[in-house]
């Protein structure tokens, strides 16, 4: 499992870890019953402080996404798939809402915002043109 940290995206590092693990579970990249990397391993992979990883893991445990397997580590819980799929949509919607609010506050017209969204979707799908 590869977690990618982007210090410029406006989200706390622990929150990026939480979100990416949820997205990986929701997408089936990590399956229920599968172990996640240890705090030390994840800290090394992401080049972040182990306390940050520990905080992310604690949050995932409190939400019922991860559970302790005594003597082994943390695994994805059996009910995590449904929860992560639900959370994924909410998390993305929350970010979109913030971006749309910023666009509106900057006095962009609705049609301009729509064009920006369509252009980005086209770019993501490989259909965009380079400018």
* Burial class, 88, CB count within 10 angstroms (exposed 0-12 / middle 13-18 / buried 19+): middle
What's the pLDDT score for residue 101? 93
Asked if residue 58 belongs to a domain, the reply is: yes
Shared-domain flag, residues 17 and 35: yes
The pLDDT of residue 113 is above 80: yes
**Domain containing residue 48:** 13-80
Identify the residue whose tokens are 């590869």: 2
Residues 97 and 74 in one domain: no
Taken in order 35, 72, 60, 62, is the CA torsion positive or negative?
Answer: positive
- Domain-embedded: residue 104: yes
> Average of pLDDT values for 9-29?
94
pTM of the model: 0.77
pLDDT above 50 for 131: no
CATH number at residue 38: 1.10.10.10
Helix axes 13-26, 39-46, angle to 10 degrees: 110
Torsion of CA 50, 15, 89, 92, to 10 degrees: -130
Give the percent of the chain with pLDDT over 70.
Answer: 97
The answer to the question of residue 89 being in a domain is: yes
């Amino acid at each position: 499992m590869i977690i990618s940290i982007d210090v410029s995206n406006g989200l706390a590092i622990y929150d990026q870890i939480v979100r990416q693990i949820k997205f990986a579970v929701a997408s089936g990249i990590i399956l229920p019953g599968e172990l996640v990397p240890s705090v030390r391993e994840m800290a090394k992979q992401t080049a972040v402080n182990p306390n940050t990883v520990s905080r992310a893991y604690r949050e995932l445990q409190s939400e019922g996404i991860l559970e302790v397997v005594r003597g082994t580590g943390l695994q994805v819980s059996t009910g995590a798939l449904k929860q992560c799929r639900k959370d994924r949509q909410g998390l993305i919607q929350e970010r979109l809402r913030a971006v749309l609010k910023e666009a509106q506050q900057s006095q962009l017209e609705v049609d301009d915002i729509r064009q920006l969204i369509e252009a980005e979707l086209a770019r993501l799908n490989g259909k965009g043109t380079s400018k």
